[in-house]
Amino acid sequence: MTDARRRRHWVAVATVLAVFGASILGLAPLSATAAVSQPAVSSNPIELAQALVRAQQNGDFRTNPSAIFDREIAPLAIGQAIAGCALDVRILQVLVLTVQNFGSLTVSDLQRPCIGSNLNCGAPTYSVHCLNPGEAIDFTSIGGRGLNGSNAATFELLRFLDSFVPRGTNAGQANCRSGLSLANINQFSDSCNHQHVDFRNTNAPLNVTEAVGTLPSLDASGAYTAALYKDYLSRDASSDDRVWWGRQLATGSPRTIVSDAFVNSDEYRLIRIDAAYRNILGRAAEDGGRMFWLALMQSGSITTDDIETQLYASDEFYALHTRTDTGFVASLYSLLLHRNGSAGEYAFWANLVAQNGRSWVIDRFWDSAETISERVSLMYTRYLGRSPDSGGLASWVESALRLGDSGLRSGLTSSDEYYARAQKRFG
């Protein structure tokens, strides 16, 4: 992926952020009745979605159906919001604050059209979930307690929300309860099996304070960008590169998205293809071969880091190493394990080559703890400037088996340690 293509990808992300910003503009805001203390929460949609992803991974946030999370939350967390699935930033803030306050949360409705539902979208109901998608929530439980519009958990939730939502906020289930007076929330009738809240009648922001210290400065983000250019592309980042990529990070885009962009860039892929040809086949890559492997990477058929295993399993590599299964296996011991095997080991693996093919055997060598440990150690040296400690090595070996080498590479270069080292190198 060229710099221009990477930047075009990020225009889409910037557009998403602009849409979210525009969604809370319009009528002059009415301030909420002041809360006893204003809760602190981010106003960045991507950061908010990331907080919800973490809560979901910890078992503290759930959507039913799961498609709500899969289409409306998870894509936004990596800067790839799905068209037609936007959530009002206030809705995201309410979700995060509710999880923080009550410990856990389950919702049954957010952006109804996004998941392909047209329930009550027409006459006579004309649900706000359809008319103002992204501005409404149906809560079903908080802190492990179900909500029905009238129980103690419902009262606790509504009083909590009433402390910071703007005047003109709506809550359903008024017919299910009595004795609840709210300063900022208007109440209306709805079915008594959940708790509905929406912002259809107000464009005012929540009465909250901005969570501080979560976003990096442009200078710090630019230093991180410079490190990625040097470590992945072996060249200096231009001042424009540092500013452009740094701005994405400084406005809330996660480091994993940026590191993934470098791992999957065409420039880095071609660097890896050229290196694999030299190191494994002992020659320069021809243009046709470079474009063949690049096309497979672009289509997702193989990852950037799969080029090595593909070449080790190739007919050309086999021919370079005696054209026999035993010679092929001996070369794997030498090149991947850096040691000789016994005659029995060679015979064992040669038999498996005959039974299952070279690719199958390559995968077993490549995914062995011995070879992964070496690759992890080399990545530590390149990206972190040190050897791994035993705990870190074991953790990243496990991650490599789960994520693959490309995921491991991106994980290391989006880590806090790599980011801190980038400040020392390029700050």
- 268-282 tens-digit pLDDT: 999 999 999 999 999
Task: Please say which residue of 175, 190, 209 terminates a domain.
Answer: 209
**Domain CATH for 358:** 1.10.3130.20
Query: Domain of 170?
Result: 3-209
- Which residue has better confidence, 7 or 328? 328
CB count within 10 Å of CB 295 equals 10
The number of domains in the chain is 2
Among candidate residues 374, 426, 384, the one with its CA nearest the CA of residue 405: 374
Beta bridge partners of 136: 198
Judge if 372 and 348 occupy the same domain.
yes
The string over 99-131, giving b where at least 16 C-beta atoms fall within 10 Å of a residue's C-beta and e elsewhere, is beebebbbbbbbbbebbebeeeeeeeeebbbbe
Please say which residue of 188, 209, 230 terminates a domain: 209
Of 191, 209, 227, the one marking the end of a domain is: 209
170 and 64 part of one domain: yes
- 231 and 267 together in one domain: yes
Return all residues near 4 (Cβ < 8 A) that are at least 6 apart: none
User: Could you tell me if 379 and 333 lie in one domain?
Assistant: yes
Beta carbons of 132 and 180 less than 8 angstroms apart: no
Q: What is the pTM of this model?
A: 0.56
The span from the CA of 293 to the CA of 396, in Å, is 27
- Verify that 269 and 171 share a domain, yes or no: no
Q: Show Cβ contacts of residue 71 under 8 Å, excluding neighbours closer than 6 positions.
A: 82, 85, 114, 115
Gap between the Cα atoms of 176 and 150, Å rounded: 6
Residue 225 and residue 342 in one domain: yes
Give yes or no for residue 192 having a pLDDT over 70.
yes
Shared domain check, 266 and 178: no
Give kind and range of the element (H or E) at residue 106: strand 105-109
| Phi, psi (deg, nearest 5) at residue 207 | -85, 75
- Quick one: pLDDT at residue 349? 98
- Whether 388 and 279 share a structural domain: yes
**Residue 132: its pLDDT value, please?**
64
pLDDT (mean) for 143-160: 96
pLDDT at 391: 82
Assess whether 51 and 98 both reside in one domain.
yes
Least trusted range by pLDDT, from 52-66, 119-133, 283-297, 362-376: 119-133
Mean pLDDT (whole number) for 93-108: 95
Does 284 lie in the same domain as 159? no
Other C-beta atoms closer than 10 Å to the C-beta of 26 total 10
Examine the domain organization and report whether 198 and 240 are in the same domain: no
Considering the domain architecture, whether residues 246 and 395 belong to the same structural domain is answered as yes
Cα(331)–Cα(318) distance, integer angstroms: 9
